[in-house]
Structure formats: structure tokens, C-alpha cells
Amino acid sequence: MIDLHCHILPGVDDGARTWDMTREMCRIAKHDGITHIVATPHANSRFRFDRERHSEHLQEMREMIPDIEFSLGCDFHTSYENLQDVELNRNHYTIADSQYLLVEFSDFQTRTQMADILFRLHSAGLETIITHPERNPVIDECPDLPEQFVCMGAHLQITADAVVGNWGRRQRKTCETLLRKGLVSIIATDAHEPYNRKPVLSEARKAAGRIVGPVEATRLVDQNPRAVINNEQLPRFTT
């Protein structure tokens, strides 16, 4: 399995604070069957995304933990400053050497603003992956939004813990609905530490398998994230 969204780099955001926490997260991930982790530090007003520095951390992780593969991306917050910069420095924020960008919407943006942001990012040549739509209050109030965004060309990444119910009943039901509609492209952990928000995908794969079948569930945690890292086209939603 491949975890496409994980805050595993130590001391760079609100994820792992120390190298010991990073090593423990890697141990948990390996035990769960995860073979490749994409480190995705926040890129927002609180945490500056420094790709060169993060790449140096990633290389240290590769040397320290050789039995897991690592790539670099970011958890891209859709602030005005970030949007300006990504249009000028597109590959600074994307996953590995791909055109795929993890996009986290603000809880306070309107549906019109969200659609405008997606249009702007797509016009810049980026492939967008919207992170944890099940936890966004605007999307929660507008259940038609996920399909609208997917029809615009975006992809959806839901959170493993939400699929199994660790974020609450409402978030689990939203994940189940998105899965049944065929709107989900990726399941990822969005892990932040080795205690509560752990890098575990296998339980969500099983839960998703009861909804979409084991073959499709495996695609969401393996083939699809692999396609992203390799800059290959993800399957498109069809009505």
C-alpha cells in the first residue's frame, strides 16, 4: 500500500515532532503493509513549505529507514499567497515530479470560491486532489459539491480514520456515500503522530472493500496513489 498524505517529517509542522516519532510512525506503517509514504508537510501561513529543506529531511529518512520508499509533496492550503506562488512555481508544491497537488480548502471559503480556485489551479496545468472532503463544513452543507468538483476534473482523497469511523459517525457516512458514488480516487492516512492519528491504511481498505469490493478498495490505496507518484492519469469519474 502507498500512503499519499502523511505528516511524517519531524519538526516541520503539526505532525511528527521528533525523529523518534517519525521512526515509530514508519514502524507502524511498515507493520500495516505500507511500502511507500509521501511526506506532505503543510504549506500555509503558519508553516512555510521549504522544499529544499524538506528534501534534505527526506533523504535522511531514506538513509535511516531503507525498507520504505519516500516521496515529497505538501498539504497545499488555498490562501491568496499560495495560489499566486503555485502559478509561478508549480512543481514546488506537487507530489514527487508529478503535476498532482494535494489541495486543502479552508473551512470558511464559499462553494463559489472553491470552484474558482479549482479552475485557477487546473488552468495552471495542475491535477488537483482535494484532501479530506468529509471534514470540510462547507462540503458537509452542500452534498452536491464533491460531484461538481470531480466533474470539473478534481480528484478526492478521503481519510482512512474517517472511513472506519474514528472521526465520528457523520464523517464515516460521508465517506461511505462518496465511495458508493464512485467519487473517491485515494484513501490516505493524513497521519500526524504514532498514537491517535497513525499511518494505518489496512483497516480502511477492509471497510471500503465492504462498500466497493476488495479490488476497488485496493486500487484506492495502491494503484491510484502509485499512478499519482508516477504522474500517470487517474481514472476519471463518469456519470
Determine what percent of the chain is predicted with pLDDT higher than 90: 89
- Evaluate whether residue 238 is within a structural domain: no
Q: What is the pLDDT of residue 46?
A: 87
Q: What is the pLDDT of residue 90?
A: 87
- Evaluate whether residue 138 is within a structural domain: yes
- Evaluate whether residue 54 is within a structural domain: yes
pLDDT digits (tens, 9 = 90+) for 158-192: 999 999 999 999 999 999 999 999 999 999 999 99
Longest Cα–Cα distance of the chain, Å, equals: 46
For the cut 90, the answer to whether the pLDDT of residue 237 exceeds it is no
pLDDT digits (tens, 9 = 90+) for 56-108: 999 999 999 999 999 999 999 988 899 999 999 989 999 999 999 999 998 88
- Evaluate whether residue 72 is within a structural domain: yes
- Evaluate whether residue 237 is within a structural domain: no
- Evaluate whether residue 100 is within a structural domain: yes
- Evaluate whether residue 76 is within a structural domain: yes
Cell numbers at 48, concatenated: 512555510
Determine what percent of the chain is predicted with pLDDT higher than 70: 99
Q: What is the pLDDT of residue 45?
A: 82
pLDDT digits (tens, 9 = 90+) for 189-227: 999 999 999 999 999 999 999 999 999 999 999 999 999
For the cut 90, the answer to whether the pLDDT of residue 113 exceeds it is yes
For the cut 70, the answer to whether the pLDDT of residue 239 exceeds it is no
Average pLDDT of 28-52?
94
CATH code for position 27: 3.20.20.140
Please tell me whether the overall predicted TM-score, pTM, comes out greater than 0.85 for this model: yes
Average pLDDT of 24-45?
96
Look up the domain containing 211 and give its range. Answer: 2-229
Number of domains in the chain: 1
Residue 156 banded pLDDT, cuts 50, 70, 90: very high
- Evaluate whether residue 235 is within a structural domain: no
